[in-house]
Amino acid sequence: MVAPPGWPYASWLDLDVLREAEVAHQLPPTSPLLQECLAFNESFLHGSSLFERPAGFARIQVGLTESGWMGARSRRTIPPFGYAIAIDAGAWLQIHLALSRLLAHPDVLPHIAVQGLPPLLKRLALPFITISSDGNPSNVDLFGGDRRAPDPPPDHKRSSCHRQLIFYAMQFLFLHEVAHIVCGHIEYRVARAAELARRIPEERRILAEEFKALEHIADQRATRFGILLAAAGALQGETGNAQEHQLLQQLELWGFAAGIVFLLTECFDYVGAFTSNHPAAEERRLFLRATALATPIPLIGIDTAHGVSMIDRGVQHAEAAWESLGWKCRPVGEIDLDNRISLIEHLEGEIAPPVDMAPSEQSNQGLKRTPDGAA
């Protein structure tokens, strides 16, 4: 499969080629997981009947780049008739490298294990993938310690959790970019970036604050999508209290995965790759909770505050897990919560979404329901 017409990025990863290389070189099979993630992305944009899609979703392309970075981005296609979301092929690997170490700690998500795990006997480093000057992937070991991952515990609940968290983290990266598109951030950032080069330092600082606010908005919208998807998953074959318990557990895991994405994004600062426009992980958690609580989210019998608190709990558990391995977080000074929320509200009112990306009334009501009650 080749890149679709108008794909605006330098590379396109063909999973068929990757699969053939894995077989030829007897490499561990990564293509099935990437295929599963891409299948979800395509289904979310063009396939499943979970919600009424904006017509503009038909103009969104999604694919993988060959980059070893951990990241995702969105921009207009060439010519600009649509949008393209690119997820770096290295994203899942970076998430795996972090989770394989975090989940080896017995105090991390201890309730998701058949039996207690043994204590860690050594300090663990975090291998972080970077791109060398010649364009090839390399890595640095962050935070000190042994770069080798512990042997995975023979625990089917733990291994299933590991895979689910990778999938949720990849899902969050994708939904965050969908949110930038549907909220009109692509056009806004292009226009404001053109002004940025001509501004004095103080005005550039203001624009940087705006860009951070856009990240908070995308986090909130991505989380809204995630809640609906988690609710749909919890509805399959579950009723009553079992359904509620399953939904709350999935929301906590979804929050944990989002928290890991927040923390890994900070790591670009430590390797000097570039200066990120993203707020610190702790800021993203605080504003995610504040803005999500201000926006009603249908949760099938669970109130908004309870659902959001489970996601917040998951993000906090990710931060605690990170620190339990001695890994550092970006320090956050005093945060003016009121001013930042005011800026978020101002931008949400000022930036118009693309006409065909505005949600319909039906999509605002949450999950679509079939006559037999299935999602």
**Angle at CA 262, nearest 5°, toward 67 and 185?**
75
The span from the CA of 203 to the CA of 209, in Å, is: 10
What tens digit of pLDDT does each residue of 39-94 get? Answer: 889 988 987 666 678 889 999 999 999 888 888 999 999 988 899 999 998 899 89
pLDDT of residue 71: 87
Q: Which residues of the chain have pLDDT under 70?
A: 1, 25-28, 48-51, 132-137, 196-199, 202, 233-242, 272-276, 291-304, 359-375
pLDDT of residue 199: 67
**Distances in Å between the alpha carbon of 297 and those of 8, 84, 305, 367?**
34, 27, 9, 11
Is the Cβ–Cβ distance between 178 and 171 less than 8 Å? Answer: no
- The pTM of the full predicted model, rounded to 2 decimals, is 0.89
Question: Does residue 161 come out as left (phi exceeding 0), alpha (psi in the -120 to 50 range) or beta?
Answer: alpha
pLDDT of residue 139: 83
Is the Cβ–Cβ distance between 104 and 117 less than 8 Å? Answer: yes
Is the Cβ–Cβ distance between 9 and 86 less than 8 Å? Answer: yes
SS (H, E, C) 216-232: HHHHHHHHHHHHHHHHH
What tens digit of pLDDT does each residue of 260-281 get? Answer: 999 999 888 777 655 567 888 9
Please give the backbone phi and psi of residue 240, each rounded to the nearest 5 degrees, phi first.
60, -135
The span from the CA of 70 to the CA of 185, in Å, is: 21
pLDDT of residue 318: 96
The span from the CA of 270 to the CA of 250, in Å, is: 31
pLDDT of residue 165: 95
3-class secondary-structure state, position 88: strand
Identify the residue whose tokens are 């006997």.
121
Is the Cβ–Cβ distance between 148 and 121 less than 8 Å? Answer: no
Asked whether the bond before 79 is cis by omega within 30 degrees of 0, the reply is yes
pLDDT of residue 57: 92
Closest CA to 305 of 315, 293, 295: 293
pLDDT of residue 219: 94
The span from the CA of 228 to the CA of 234, in Å, is: 10
SS (H, E, C) 102-151: HCCCCCCCCCCCCCCCCCCCCCECEEEEEECCCCCEEEEEECCCECCCCC
pLDDT of residue 48: 66
Please give the backbone phi and psi of residue 130, each rounded to the nearest 5 degrees, phi first.
-130, 175
Is the Cβ–Cβ distance between 207 and 196 less than 8 Å? Answer: yes
**Distances in Å between the alpha carbon of 72 and those of 65, 238, 251?**
9, 34, 22
The span from the CA of 137 to the CA of 176, in Å, is: 25
